[in-house]
Structure 1
Amino acid sequence: MAALVVFVFLVTVLVSILHYIFQRKFRYWQKRNVPYVKPLPLLGNYAKYMLQKQYIGQTVQELCKQHPDQSYFGAFYGTKPILVVNSPEIAKDVFTKDFYYFNGRELSDYVGSELASLNLFFAHGDRWKVIRQNLTTLFSSSKMKKMFYLLEKCNHTLEDMLARETSIDKVLETRDLGARYTMDCICSCAFGVDSMAMSKEPNNVFKTVAGQLSEASTSRGLKMVIRDVWPGIFYGLKMQLFPPTIDEFFSKLLKGVFESRNHKPSPRNDFVDLVLMFKSQVHLIGDSISNPKTGKDAKIKLKVDDDFLLAQCIMFFAAGFETSSTTISFTLYELAKHPAEQDKIIAEVDEYVSRQKNKLEYECVHELPYLDAAVYETLRLYPILGAISREVMNDYKFADGVQVGRGLRVHIPIYHFHHNPAYFPDPETFKPERFLPENKKDVKPYTYFPYGEGPRICIGSRFAKMQVMAGLITILKEYRVELANDMPETLTLDARTIFTAPRDQGLNVKFIRREGSEQRKWVRT
């Protein structure tokens, strides 16, 4: 009996201590006179997302709708205070105008706790600035044009794969289709290797690694939440988001490519050549992120080692295939639901193929305005990231006098902006016309973020657009698409991944070969 009393007493004390700690944490916004949503114990305001019941973009959207007249407000991601941006003006401040104060992605104090986090995506401050400056040259328009011949070959392979697989079954899962295509593109253009992802081989090693990187599962989702909210516990327990097999695979891949090029840059001028140049230099040199603020011309020297190079390699592969394949699959899904819009695009594609005499060229990126608009509208409906994170890197004061300190996380609610009728009338309807050249001026600045915004805008957006446009042209020049019989008109989005994706189902689309498609085959040289 005495033992039971002691146990009850200790539990009561523990609960009381935790309650006190949480209540003190939850007074963060109250002390700053910032409007906030009353949080739940432990889960804060993100309970639906943390329990994997709701896609994060929709969780943040619900919070924003509770504060329609606030330009920003406070919330709690688990036990952590978080500031949610709710106006284009504050989005501009965070993304661009006051970027110096918000240059971190998230969890900056834990960058380096696992190898994959050493890349550009997670970097902040001077480290981010130096890496970004040194990688930017790879993604210029001239570099994209020079490497397009590699992408053209990938589209020849896509053409062959579609012919082979639609002869077996006209219904294809477009997420898998898009991933295999973009995997081939990124492996060829960035690493100079043929992934064979579009081949008949079912046990492709690149597909296996890609699946590990982009896995949407209950365990991966819970890991992400624990890492995001309680990183000290996550890394203190030696947990990792990604299995070590990923590091091992890319280490072997890089070593093999380096050896094939005798550890010297080749005429390809691709990502591997840039990495080889970095390796030979030992250090990267670039500007300090504080130069615009201080007026100085300080230079930063960043040491290059194998872990650094490997981390950039993993980032390029993951970002290069996953984001573009998602865009391709959702675009095909929307076109399958909207035959009138599909007809306009098919007419545009046919005219392009005829004009080009069946030759796919880099200029396709700019010469099909309706297809381009359809892709941008797809990215509005299904943004790659439903919410983008930033971190306060230096104490900051808003124009209204509210002060926030270093380490505070900020959420920019991309899904909410994109689905807000104040910015996009009839927001749930697929309307490519919104993004035709003559209508783009009507899109209010800082309400649409297909690739992010500001200095941290996606470094590979040109490459992404290039492979998406080329892939869709290759598909639509020969096929019409319709929804498969089992496909719903609306989708439940997945709460277990940071990317926008359908939950527990593929995107099954029926590919119907169009009349005269043989006359629209690509010319191969």
Structure 2
Amino acid sequence: MFILLMVSIILLFYFISTRKYGYWKRRKVPHVKPTILVGNYGDIIFQKKNFAEGVQGICKQLPNEKYIGAFYSTEPVFIPLDPDIIKLIVAKDFYYFNGRELSEHSHKEPAALNIFSTYGDNWRVLRQNMTLLFSSRKMRNMFYLIEKCSHVFEAMLDRETSVSNELETRLVTARYTIECIGACVFGVDANTMTGEMQDNPFSKIAALTSPTKYAAFIRGVRNVWPSIFYGLGLQLMSKQMDFFKNLITSVMNQRQNKPSGRNDFLDLILSWKLKQTIDGDSITYIKTGGRHRVSLKADDDLLVAQCFVFFNAGFETSATILSYTLYELAKNKEIQNRVLAEVDAYMEQYENRLCYECVNEFPYLWAAVDEVQRLYPVLGVIFRETMENYTLPDGLVIEKGMRVHIPVYYLHHNPMYFPDPEEFRPERFLGEEKQKVNPYTYLPFGEGPRTCMGKLFC
């Protein structure tokens, strides 16, 4: 009886799967033949490749198409390859693609209330209010804190290199970026560069957010079978949320539950908490042009979720960019020497003083950083969801709820857009050559209304 039941379940699942796998064929969309159960994402599901490289592998099978269809397990995915179509999705017709994947499940755990994961009016109101934190004036006011952290970082490097001439750059850059986030965003000393790491609470919470095979597996289960994941009462970031809830409570008590005048992120959170609402324009403004004001309830879950994403995205992104920059400079001595010469010339001119207004006087250094982000984009795939039926110029209808995977890593490593793509060559992003980069083929921070707010901070 048990065997008969199992066979029946397998046959039923096989029937449902194969019926779903006809989705792109019925619409005459170019696609790669899927494998039962895993679709085209088997290498990702079984962790043979990271997500960016897995999607790149799918794209390489149909490189001459403007867009292709794929299957994430049994769910259809739309993958745009043409920069003009990508522009429609992330910028021109952004309203139709303003959500990220699994928007209908985003209310099922507090961490998903953050601006990175939410959509619609919630995203629009949060974005309007948070953008003010990253103005040039705010960045200028924060600069002294970052400079202070850099001196502590220099001292830490001196200590570490006196013990060993080998350093794990990912670890040391993470300690630096956590310190910067603590000072600039939360108004606290994280002490990640001066104390013992194993007992540091910020280091512990950073370790929880760092990618591991287990974390990737759990996230994959959520992405493929969200109903089962949440039906079992599972959540992705419960420990991290508890940490930031306690951190906010502590800082708020220090500030006597009112803004401190620092005008930092915690002051913004405090102002929302006191007001109990966050006000802004409805996202329908993007589509209709008519302004309609909406309010969000500023409860603890919403506020803590923003703190979580600011910490996680801030330290992880910056640390990754820094570590890969150091790695590539170490491998390429001539480029390293040119960067050092540029920095030395600046320091000599300004008497070893670094100021916010002058950081753009390092064109070759910034070109090297841009090239690092081409080779190792933090967002190797940009995830979107179709919020309303959308018709492409050729007549194809992308249905509401469709997952959209924009293959950033594939674009950055495509020789059509970047000749000799595996070569580290900062000159791609200097002068006239930089002007030749095709729009919407270089997307390290995304593009359009949902472009990363913190790219100035990074």
Normalised by the length of structure 1, the TM-score is 0.86
Question: What does the per-residue CA deviation read over 1:495-520, in whole Å, with 9 as the maximum and x for residues that have no partner?
Answer: xxxxxxxxxxxxxxxxxxxxxxxxxx
In 1, distance between residues paired with 2:137 and 2:346? 22
Instruction: Indicate which of 112, 116, 120 corresponds to 2:111.
Output: 116
Shift in Å, 1:364: 4.1
* Partner residue in 2 for 1:421: 415
Matches within 5 A, 1:341-360: 341-360=335-354
Question: What does the per-residue CA deviation read over 1:147-174, in whole Å, with 9 as the maximum and x for residues that have no partner?
Answer: 1111111011111111111111121110
When structure 1 is superposed on structure 2, of 280-289 and 189-198 the one drifting more is: 280-289
In 2, distance between residues paired with 1:147 and 1:267? 13
* Partner residue in 1 for 2:172: 177
* Partner residue in 1 for 2:55: 60
Q: Which amino acid aligns with 2:99?
A: G
* Partner residue in 1 for 2:205: 209
- Structure 1 unaligned segments of length 5 or more: list them: 1-5, 465-525
Normalised by the length of structure 2, the TM-score is 0.98
In 1, distance between residues paired with 2:240 and 2:54? 31
Instruction: Indicate which of 182, 197, 214 corresponds to 1:187.
Output: 182
What secondary structure, in the 3-state scheme, does the structure 2 residue paired with 1:171 have?
coil
Shift in Å, 1:438: 3.2
Shift in Å, 1:23: 1.1
Question: What does the per-residue CA deviation read over 1:39-71, in whole Å, with 9 as the maximum and x for residues that have no partner?
Answer: 111100000011000121111111111112211
Q: Which amino acid aligns with 1:205?
A: P
In 1, distance between residues paired with 2:246 and 2:8? 53
What secondary structure, in the 3-state scheme, does the structure 2 residue paired with 1:94 have?
helix
Shift in Å, 1:439: 2.1
Matches within 5 A, 1:416-455: 416-455=410-449
* Partner residue in 2 for 1:365: 359
Question: What does the per-residue CA deviation read over 1:469-525, in whole Å, with 9 as the maximum and x for residues that have no partner?
Answer: xxxxxxxxxxxxxxxxxxxxxxxxxxxxxxxxxxxxxxxxxxxxxxxxxxxxxxxxx
Does residue 1:374 correspond to 2:368, yes or no? yes
Matches within 5 A, 1:130-145: 130-145=125-140
Higher helix share: 2
Instruction: Indicate which of 229, 233, 248 corresponds to 1:234.
Output: 229
* Partner residue in 2 for 1:3: none
* Partner residue in 1 for 2:303: 309
Instruction: Indicate which of 405, 408, 427 corresponds to 1:411.
Output: 405
In 2, distance between residues paired with 1:449 and 1:287? 27
Instruction: Indicate which of 260, 267, 280 corresponds to 2:261.
Output: 267
Q: Which amino acid aligns with 1:29?
A: W
* Partner residue in 2 for 1:147: 142
In 1, distance between residues paired with 2:366 and 2:324? 14
Alpha carbons of structure 1 residues 372 and 16: separation in structure 2 relative to 1, 3 Å? same
When structure 1 is superposed on structure 2, of 337-346 and 13-22 the one drifting more is: 13-22
In 2, distance between residues paired with 1:217 and 1:255? 29
What secondary structure, in the 3-state scheme, does the structure 2 residue paired with 1:227 have?
helix
Does residue 1:20 correspond to 2:38, yes or no? no
What secondary structure, in the 3-state scheme, does the structure 2 residue paired with 1:439 have?
helix
When structure 1 is superposed on structure 2, of 108-117 and 181-190 the one drifting more is: 108-117
Matches within 5 A, 1:67-146: 67-146=62-141
When structure 1 is superposed on structure 2, of 415-424 and 11-20 the one drifting more is: 11-20
Q: Which amino acid aligns with 1:93?
A: L
Instruction: Indicate which of 12, 19, 25 corresponds to 1:30.
Output: 25
Does residue 1:158 correspond to 2:147, yes or no? no
What secondary structure, in the 3-state scheme, does the structure 2 residue paired with 1:167 have?
helix
In 2, distance between residues paired with 1:398 and 1:105? 19
Q: Which amino acid aligns with 1:96?
A: A
In 2, distance between residues paired with 1:7 and 1:312? 48
Question: What does the per-residue CA deviation read over 1:75-124, in whole Å, with 9 as the maximum and x for residues that have no partner?
Answer: 00111100011111111011101100000011100112111111000010
* Partner residue in 2 for 1:501: none
Q: Which amino acid aligns with 1:406?
A: K
Does the 8 Å CA contact 1:395/1:403 hold for their aligned counterparts?
yes
What secondary structure, in the 3-state scheme, does the structure 1 residue paired with 2:321 have?
helix
In 1, distance between residues paired with 2:247 and 2:412? 39
Shift in Å, 1:223: 0.7
Q: Which amino acid aligns with 1:326?
A: T
Task: Give the number of aligned pairs.
Answer: 457
What secondary structure, in the 3-state scheme, does the structure 2 residue paired with 1:358 have?
coil
What secondary structure, in the 3-state scheme, does the structure 1 residue paired with 2:54 have?
helix
Q: Which amino acid aligns with 1:429?
A: E
Shift in Å, 1:202: 2.7
* Partner residue in 2 for 1:383: 377
The alignment yields a C-alpha RMSD, in angstroms, of 1.1
* Partner residue in 2 for 1:470: none
Does the 8 Å CA contact 1:369/1:437 hold for their aligned counterparts?
no
In 1, distance between residues paired with 2:288 and 2:195? 57
* Partner residue in 2 for 1:255: 249
Q: Which amino acid aligns with 1:258?
A: M
Instruction: Indicate which of 197, 216, 223 corresponds to 1:221.
Output: 216
